[in-house]
């Protein structure tokens, strides 16, 4: 067995080997103990949750029983009161104002004493010949439909009935119909000569206050179920509501209290715990998805997982401390070596104290090697910088003598023609041109100086080729105080003159545009020359983006501008080209906003 394990650890570090040998054993026992604890705790929590809901249903039922019985007794008392019986036995024509006053006082007393529950009271005798009412809201019309009630409510010997949640069809208000629960007594029947109705409408907010005191999970609710329907404590999603089949089953259950489960079409398992009101045999039921109860168990599960993770982290930390104590010299060296990459070779290796001789020799050898590598890299950087400077100097050596010769020859021609002022202006422009070119050896100058430099250059070229092209400047004055690499625009303008407008027929146009855009400054050098096709344009784009490209589609001046901007400002800056054959070329310069 041990021989089979040896190859598995042969490629691993000493520290990893130590940790991986005993850490799994510790983790196994942590998981085992935690899982057993979770099962015991989850079982107890689920049992407690069911017991709490049973208690909630019982207490709610007990409270409703007391309050509804009180209201029912008031209705019974009203129906058996001598004043009520006297009015019922009288002919409507014999009813006196004293009867109205006595009855009004009686129902007013009931209404005031039970106003927290009773929303409205109606006494309607002799089919509307004697009517008194008490109610909160102003009703547009008070109407008791005897035919409807006599037809739908039959079978009670005493004539008392309960009606579950419904729109108030007695105290009518079309704009805002109210919902109530009613208890009423019907006097007589469809064939009786004497008819009447005593009705109490019970407030729905009374039930809401009672039900909302008990929270049964996120999607659970209390409900009051009768054969007519049910009233629930809160608005719930349709997937958690009782359907007609379950309502009928619940109402027909003969036992006073109990519990059952049913499955929703979406697969959710619902639990119903119920108890029965003695006053009207309605069911008070708690309805909730099983997953709500399991959430509490899931909380314990997640807590257990969290504790397991903490214990595992602690075990790993202890294992690391022990392994580090044993393997610290090797780990320290490996950590430093791993930090070496092509972007970071400047690593200071520590001097080992109290380490084995072999580790000291290995550490010193690697330190010497890193020192040599850093020295070689620094030399490469110096060589590259020197090469760039020499390349830039070559550009100056190529441009300046030839340009100076042509300019001086033009000045001589002006002098020969007696145009001394023009010759003087040309000499001043030439002087300023070379002064800015030199810039006291500085590589970075202000954009204002760069613009002045190309203005002098264009003035000199205009004196030489005035009949060949025109030029315009559109420079945002706000960018003049920012900085750029010197000799950025002059090679682009020279390229536009010699390879653009001079290669086309007619008067050439050169535009120099400069503006700011967010955190960047953009220049455009645009000519209306011959332009180029897509194939040549792609070649130039490929060459400008590859500094090692050896082709000659672009001059050394343009490549120097592009490379110098990347060196000073970053790889995202430089030149971009766009052109259409027969329409001209647009060279775009992008640099960051930099102040001195």
pLDDT tens profile 165-211: 888 888 887 777 788 899 999 987 767 666 789 999 998 888 888 88
User: How much is the pTM?
Assistant: 0.48
C-alpha to C-alpha distance for 496 and 517, rounded to whole angstroms: 24
CA-CA distance, 353 to 351, in Å (whole number)? 6
User: Which pLDDT score is estimated for 475?
Assistant: 93
Where in the chain do CATH 3.30.565.10 domains reside?
A: 380-592
Given phi > 0 = left and psi -120 to 50 = alpha, else beta, which region is 480?
A: alpha
**What is the per-residue pLDDT for 397?**
46
Contact 525, 539 (CB under 8 A): no
| 3.90.105, 2.60.40, 3.30.450, 3.40.50: CATH of 209-293 | 3.30.450
| Residue 349 in tokens | 């290796």
Residue 589: per-residue pLDDT? 94
3-state helix, strand and coil shares in percent for the chain, rounded to the nearest 5: 55, 20, 25
Residue extent(s) of CATH 3.30.450.20 domains in the chain: 64-200
Which residue is it, tokens 């129906």?
Answer: 79
Element (H, E) at 66: helix 14-80
Kindly report the CATH class assigned to 64-200.
Answer: alpha beta
Write the CATH number of the domain with boundaries 380-592. 3.30.565.10
Secondary structure (3-state) at 342: coil
Which of 329, 322, 465 is CA-nearest to residue 407? 465
Q: How far apart are CA 347 and CA 233, in angstroms?
A: 70
Query: 476-496: b or e for each residue (b if 16 or more CB lie within 10 Å)?
Result: eeebeebbbbbbbbbbbbbbb
Of 44, 36, 38, 40, the residue nearest 303 (C-alpha): 38
3-class secondary-structure state, position 592: strand
The predicted-structure confidence for 267-310, as pLDDT tens digits, reads as follows 888 889 999 999 888 889 888 888 877 777 777 777 888 888 88
Cα gap 414→411, rounded to integer Å:
5
Q: According to the model, what pLDDT value does residue 436 have?
A: 62
- State residue 384's pLDDT score: 67
Q: How many CB atoms lie within 10 A of CB 323?
A: 20
The alpha carbons of the chain give a radius of gyration, in whole angstroms, of 49
Walk along the chain (596 residues) in steps of 10 and give the mean pLDDT of each run: 53 69 79 82 78 88 92 92 89 89 92 90 89 81 85 84 89 80 85 80 88 77 84 76 83 86 84 90 88 74 82 81 70 68 61 65 76 78 64 51 56 60 67 62 82 85 77 92 88 84 81 93 92 88 70 66 84 90 91 89
């Amino acid at each position: 067995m041990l021989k089979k394990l040896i190859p598995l650890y042969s490629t691993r570090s000493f520290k990893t080997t130590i940790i991986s040998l005993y850490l799994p054993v510790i983790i196994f026992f942590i998981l085992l103990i935690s899982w057993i604890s979770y099962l015991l705790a989850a079982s107890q929590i689920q049992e407690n949750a069911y017991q709490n809901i049973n208690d909630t249903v019982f207490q709610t039922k007990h409270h409703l029983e007391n309050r509804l019985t009180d209201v029912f007794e008031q209705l019974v008392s009203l129906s058996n009161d001598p004043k009520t019986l006297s009015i019922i036995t009288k002919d409507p024509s014999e009813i006196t104002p004293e009867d109205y006053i006595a009855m009004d006082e009686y129902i007013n007393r009931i209404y005031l004493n039970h106003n927290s529950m009773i929303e409205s009271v109606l006494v309607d005798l002799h089919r509307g010949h004697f009517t008194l009412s008490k109610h909160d809201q102003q009703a547009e019309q008070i109407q008791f439909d005897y035919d409807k009630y006599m037809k739908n409510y039959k079978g009670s010997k005493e004539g008392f009935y309960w009606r579950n949640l419904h729109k108030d069809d007695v105290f009518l208000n079309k704009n805002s119909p109210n919902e109530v629960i009613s208890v009423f007594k019907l006097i007589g029947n469809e064939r009786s000569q004497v008819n009447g109705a005593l009705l109490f409408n019970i407030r729905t907010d009374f039930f809401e206050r009672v039900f909302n005191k008990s929270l049964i999970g996120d999607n659970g609710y209390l409900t009051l179920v009768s054969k007519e329907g049910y009233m629930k404590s809160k608005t719930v999603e349709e997937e958690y509501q009782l359907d007609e089949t379950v309502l009928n089953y619940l109402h027909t259950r003969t036992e006073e209290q109990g519990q059952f489960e049913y499955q929703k079409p979406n697969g959710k398992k619902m639990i119903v715990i119920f108890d029965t009101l003695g006053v009207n045999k309605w069911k008070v039921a708690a309805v909730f998805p099983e997953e709500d109860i399991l959430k509490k168990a899931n909380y314990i599960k997640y807590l257990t997982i969290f504790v397991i993770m903490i214990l595992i982290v602690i075990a790993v930390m202890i294992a690391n401390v022990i392994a580090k104590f044993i393997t610290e010299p090797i780990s320290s060296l490996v950590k430093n070596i791993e930090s070496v990459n092509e972007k970071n070779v400047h690593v200071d290796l520590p001097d080992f104290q109290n380490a084995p001789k072999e580790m000291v020799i290995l550490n010193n050898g690697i330190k010497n090697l890193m020192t040599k590598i850093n020295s070689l890299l620094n030399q490469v950087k110096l060589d590259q910088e020197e090469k760039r400077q020499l390349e830039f100097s070559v550009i100056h050596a190529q441009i300046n003598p030839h340009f100076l010769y042509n300019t001086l020859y033009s000045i001589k021609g002006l002098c020969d023609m007696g145009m001394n002022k023009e010759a003087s202006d040309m000499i001043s422009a030439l002087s300023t041109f070379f002064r800015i070119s030199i810039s006291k050896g500085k590589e970075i100058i202000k954009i204002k100086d760069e613009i002045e430099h190309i203005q002098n250059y264009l003035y000199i070229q205009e004196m030489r080729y005035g009949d060949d092209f025109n030029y315009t400047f559109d420079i945002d004055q706000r960018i003049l105080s920012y900085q750029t690499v010197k000799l950025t625009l002059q090679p682009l303008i020279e390229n536009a003159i010699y390879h653009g407008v001079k290669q086309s027929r007619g008067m050439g146009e050169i535009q120099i545009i400069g503006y700011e855009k967010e955190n960047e400054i953009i220049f455009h050098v645009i000519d209306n020359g011959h332009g180029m096709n897509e194939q040549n344009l792609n070649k130039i784009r490929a060459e400008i983006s590859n500094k090692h490209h050896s082709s000659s589609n672009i001059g050394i001046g343009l490549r120097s501008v592009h490379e110098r901007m990347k060196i000073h400002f970053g790889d995202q800056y430089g030149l971009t080209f766009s052109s259409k054959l027969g329409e001209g070329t647009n060279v775009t310069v992008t640099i960051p906003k930099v102040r001195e």
